Structure 1
Amino acid sequence: MSIQDEELYRRVLHKDKDALESLYDKYEKLLFSFSYKMTNNRELSEEVVQDVFMKLWTQKGTYDSSKGKFSSWLLTIARNAAIDLMRKKKETPYELEERDALQANEPSIEEMYEWKEEATVVRQAMTVLKEEQQRVIRLFYFDAKSHREIAERLELPLGTVKGRIRMALKHLQTEMIRREGGEERHE
């Protein structure tokens, strides 16, 4: 978490509306893009963004810097909000295969990191993942499938799916840090 994000978050915890507005300005486009990838629905995506910032303001869940980056925490809240809204409205997530057929050159993970990383770096970093890890990441994050749904679809034990997701994220994080030329930090 950057010093600026950390300070803004601390101020939001003390009900500083200007701090919330600053975080909104910084992350609204990222959260909307991420939500739209999952829902393929503009209205639902806007609702997801509003839900994320309402949860931030009402402190439904607290950020813990020892568990990862602030932006990743916001994306997780957005992912969960999108899944909840799609289930509530009985919407189905836009299938990755259909989107890829329409937009063949667009990498599915690019927008998640676009605020920080260049698209080519992310695309290259994904190549270090094993195919089965890439597949579970796509199903989990972009098709909004639950661990159980992924296990059923891939005919794998639930524990294997959870392990692949964990390992894939760890490998991706390590690769991104390596490509940045930095050392692994525990933010």
Structure 2
Amino acid sequence: MSEKDVELYHRIQQGDKHALELLYDRYEKLLYSFSFKLTGQRELSEEVVQEVFIKIWTKKGIYNEHKGKFSSWILTVARNTGIDMIRKKKEVTYSIEERDSISSHEPLTEDLVEWKEEGARIRDAISSLAKEQREIVDLLYFKGLSQQKIADACQLPLGTVKGRVRLALQHLKKRLTIHEKGGQKS
């Protein structure tokens, strides 16, 4: 499936609206579900999905197939877009019914399986980090804090936070690359 995604992406870069529609149809439900879990708001989740596809349509050459899978990249774009929108809104309010009712936007089964497998690999890699690095990664990538806010909250120098992020990302990249190539985990 990922080769087709890359092919669609390249066609979009050439201005092919039909390719954009196909890619949208393939990822809209997954991105919505992912965004909803991140934001907890229907409207904001819809905005995130729309913004992701606007970015894909208007920004040329932002995906590099040599750096990773398309599905991972598009989920990262959705995550970053969602965090940016949350920061802009500053106020996260939603009803319990909104948060708990996403049944009409369920992702396809094969997307869920791939997403869960990817998540398990990432959780495994993160669990292999040193405690200090794991805490920084959690605050930065899962709680959406800036490096400066992490430094303030943990009472650490900003340089220390940046160093831990850099080391953690190097370790995760190595660990995930070994796993992708079918090698043994270290």
1:42-61 mapped onto 2 (5 Å cutoff): 42-59=42-59
Task: Please give the alpha-carbon distance, in whole angstroms, between the structure 2 residues aligned to 1:92 and 1:112.
Answer: 26
Counterpart mapping for 1:80-119 below 5 A: 80-92=80-92, 114-115=114-115, 117=117
Q: Deviations over 1:118-168 (max 9, x none)?
A: 655444332211122221222112211111111111112222222322322
Aligned pair 1:38/2:38, yes or no?
Answer: yes
Paired with 1:84 and 1:6, the residues of 2 have a C-alpha distance of: 26
Q: In structure 2, what is the equivalent of residue 152 of structure 1? A: 152
Aligned to 2:98: none
Q: Is the aligned partner of 1:163 residue 2:166?
A: no
Superposition deviation, residue 50 in structure 1 = 0.9
**TM-score after normalising by structure 1:** 0.71
- Note the C-alpha offset of 1:9: 0.9
Q: Distance in 1 between matches of 2:70 and 2:120?
A: 23
CA distance in 1, matches of 2:64, 2:14: 16
CA distance in 2, matches of 1:177, 1:62: 21
2:78 aligned counterpart, secondary structure: helix
Per the alignment, residue 70 of structure 2 pairs with 70
- Listed as ranges, the gaps of 5+ residues in structure 1 are 94-110
Is the counterpart of residue 18 in structure 1 residue 18 in structure 2? Answer: yes
Determine if contact 2:13/2:60 at 8 Å carries over to the other structure: no
Q: What CA deviation, in whole Å up to 9, does each residue of 1:17-62 have, x standing for no partner?
A: 2211232233334433432333222221121111110111122772
Q: Give the aligned partner of residue 142 of structure 1.
A: 142
Structure 1 vs Structure 2: percent identity of aligned residues?
Answer: 56
Higher helix fraction (1 or 2): 2
Tell me the CA shift for residue 169 of structure 1.
2.7
Give the drift of 1:116. Answer: 6.7
Structure 1 distance, partners of 2:113, 2:150, is 23
Structure 1's 65 and 34: CA in aligned 2 closer, same or farther, altered over 3 A? same
Greater RCO, CA 8 A, separation 6+: 1
- Which shows bigger deviation, 145-154 or 71-80? 71-80
Q: Read off the aligned partner of 1:91 and give its amino acid letter.
A: E
TM score, norm. by length of structure 2: 0.71
Which residue number corresponds to residue 124 of structure 2? Answer: 124
Provide the rounded CA distance (Å) in 1 between the counterparts of 2:51 and 2:37.
Answer: 17
Aligned counterpart, 1:133: 133
Structure whose CA Rg is larger:
2
Comparing 172-181 with 144-153, greater Cα deviation is found at 172-181
Greater than 6 Å deviation, 4+ residue runs? none
Report the RMSD for the aligned CA atoms in angstroms: 3.2
